[in-house]
Copies of this chain bind each other. A is one copy, B any other.
């Protein structure tokens, strides 16, 4: 509710079209729905085409089912991340169109057609074990209507594999670099392209990896300019941000 809205409302109150009590209500009215255990943000519905997103981890199967059931009454596409197969099976009972991506652990419901962007997001992955995180980023970007190019298993241990794909990477409007272990992929990609690079450290590795800390610190200290970092294993966050940038 910006200044313009406020001005109009006050004019209406002055003219008597809107009562004072109604005015108080409107000024207090906030755009979300309180369902006890969750407040669903309706604000995003206004902008057509934006999907609803549910972070399923830490929620019960029943809660996920209930939230999607409610969302299904709206017109927007739906994305559930960190969903288990069991959640998906429950959701399908009340929503036939739900799809499950086992690698990305996502539930998606397409309620209207998605027209992809012309420009694309490159999702570059260091190793096979990083694919779940990369796929979460890709699925997120796609349901947000972005064209995505996947370039997999091009970690720096065999850097010639990366160079082979350089044209595809350089053609992107924004690049997501997903890597665990020492996370060097982000720095190398960052040094080779002139586009924003979103680095996603993964928890892939063992020992002094400390649950993704090595890749995280590595990426934060990247000597390549134009790189920023999201949380460890946060494919969704990278896909969401890449979508934002891709649509600028």
Contact = CB atoms under 8 A, between A and B. Distances in A.
Interface residues of A, number: 104
A94 interface: no
A114 interface: no
A159 B24 CA distance: 19
B206 A57 contact: yes
A102 to B, nearest CB: 10
Interface string A48-84: 0000010001110001000000000000000000000
A188 interface: yes
Contacts of A190: 157
A127 B56 CA distance: 12
A39 B182 CA distance: 19
Contacts of A208: 212-213, 216-217, 220-221, 231-232
A4 B50 CA distance: 36
A113 B194 CA distance: 23
Contact of A58 (B167, B174, B204): B204
B226 A241 contact: yes
A2 to B, nearest CB: 7
A153 B41 CA distance: 11
Given A3-B24, A20-B7, A160-B31, A203 B214 contact: no
